[in-house]
Amino acid sequence: MRRAVAFFIALLVVPLVPTAPAMARDCTTWDASLEELEEGRALVASVCNKDDNRTIIMVRCFPPGVNIRYAPVIDGDFNNFQRDLVFETDEKERPVFVTYEGLDGAFTAYLPIGHTAVEMMKSGKAITIRDPQGKVPSHTFALAGSRQALEKLEKKCRQ
């Protein structure tokens, strides 16, 4: 009887044991994979920040170009935020106009395929996104695997 009760309890408890979180991933290498979005399943190229894997940069198709989403974990009121953030690598820096989208807490830019900021993310060791006015915190993201992930995404965007 005790075994039957223990087995029954195990059946109830095992599904409650947490598994690895969905965001647990290697934050040193870009990935291009299908993700479930509001619009349905879509190919997304992304990487997380190595110091805080909840802070991400993701790129997805937005015809006729791409949508870059910088989603730092931040507090503050960024409603109506519309201005340039700087994308910076060892070799280049480029201001990119972004708008804050409060539903998912992301600073977003809509850019054509081949835009300088997109090309900057394909080479080098790291890219830093920073606010020249210092209101939005800066984060640095590794660029390992970014060329393959972004080119896979761009190919899908052109279809």
Number of domains composing the chain:
1
Q: Is residue 10 part of a domain?
A: no
DSSP secondary-structure letter at 14? G
Q: Is residue 47 part of a domain?
A: yes
Give the structural domain span for 147.
25-158
Provide Rg for the chain, Cα atoms. Answer: 19
Q: 8-17, 63-72, 74-83, 128-137: which has the minimum mean pLDDT?
A: 8-17
- Please answer whether residues 112 and 64 qualify as being in contact, where contact means their C-beta atoms are separated by less than 8 angstroms: yes
Q: 14-18, 42-46, 51-55, 90-94: which has the minimum mean pLDDT?
A: 14-18
Strand, coil or helix: what is 5? helix
pTM: 0.80
Q: Is residue 116 part of a domain?
A: yes
Q: Is residue 12 part of a domain?
A: no
Q: Is the pLDDT of residue 118 over 80?
A: yes
Q: Is residue 1 part of a domain?
A: no
Q: Is the pLDDT of residue 6 over 90?
A: no
22-31, 69-78, 120-129, range with greatest mean pLDDT: 120-129
User: Distance (Å, rounded) from C-alpha 69 to C-alpha 75?
Assistant: 17
Strand, coil or helix: what is 158? helix
Q: Is residue 135 part of a domain?
A: yes
In this structure, what CATH number is given to the domain that contains residue 88? 2.60.40.1880
Q: Is residue 35 part of a domain?
A: yes
Q: Is residue 8 part of a domain?
A: no
